[in-house]
Amino acid sequence: MGEGRDDPRIFLVEPEQRGVVPLEDFRIPTRLRRTIRSEPFEIRVDTAFSAVLDACAAPGPGREDSWINGPIRRLYVELNARGSAHSIECWRDERLVGGLYGVTLGGAFFGESMFSRERDASKVALVHLVARLKRGGWTLLDAQFLTEHLAQFGALETPQAAYLKLLAAARRKKPDTRSLFRPMTGAEAVFYALQPTTQAS
């Protein structure tokens, strides 16, 4: 993380309690299920990674600064070019209105940041991410820190020692990365996201 968007330094953060979104027990609020099934947005993957990154770093209400500084941005763009970082994007009328991005390593996906310019856009992106991860055989979704926003989906705090065991097991997995890119309807996204166990297609 960076201290601020204009600070060139990078430092590592290792929280004692790690925010994890349990893929096997993911929850979707009822109203959001209806929204996703109605497909208010076109979902794209990795078509505007840099734009998603910049939107996540942009100032917003209650968030004047950002931990995404210049060096970190360059690293994520390079990881995307190498196929190790991905963005899930919500589009409406050819406008990018929400999304998220993260890094994949074995069967672990590290959600880095999300943004929303229209109601529910980041939530829809999260559900589509989880559905694709479960369909492809990922086993760990690392959210780093527990937030109220993520708690509604079942996210919880995991002690660092237990988290490291989960991470070690996940890193040995070889998910089907093509699952991230295969088309998925809103109904399919809800279906896969709510499956009780991870699935590989």
Give the Cα separation of 125 and 112 in Å (integer): 13
User: Is residue 122 classed as helix, strand or coil in its secondary structure?
Assistant: helix
Q: Does residue 1 fall inside a structural domain? A: no
The whole-angstrom separation of Cα 114 and Cα 45 is 14
The domain in which residue 145 lies consists of 17-193
In a domain, 112, yes or no: yes
Q: Does residue 43 belong to any structural domain of this protein?
A: yes
Q: For the chain, what is the total number of helices (H) and then of strands (E)? A: 7, 7
Model pTM score: 0.90
For residue 32, is it within any domain?
A: yes
Q: What SS3 state is found at 200?
A: strand
Counted domains in the chain: 1
Judging by DSSP bridges, how do beta strands 140-144 and 108-116 pair with one another?
Answer: parallel
Residue 33 lies inside a defined structural domain of this protein: yes
Other CB atoms within 10 A of residue 64 CB: 9
pLDDT confidence of residue 120: 96
Whether residue 2 lies inside any domain: the answer is no
DSSP class of 181: T
Q: Is 129 helix (H, G, I), strand (E, B) or coil?
A: helix
Q: Is 3 part of any domain?
A: no
Per the domain annotation, does 128 fall within a domain? yes
Assign residue 120 the CATH number of its domain.
3.40.630.70
Across the 201 residues of the chain, what is the mean pLDDT of every consecutive 10-residue run?
Answer: 63 81 94 98 98 86 66 91 97 97 97 94 98 96 88 92 95 96 97 75 39
* pLDDT for residue 60: 66
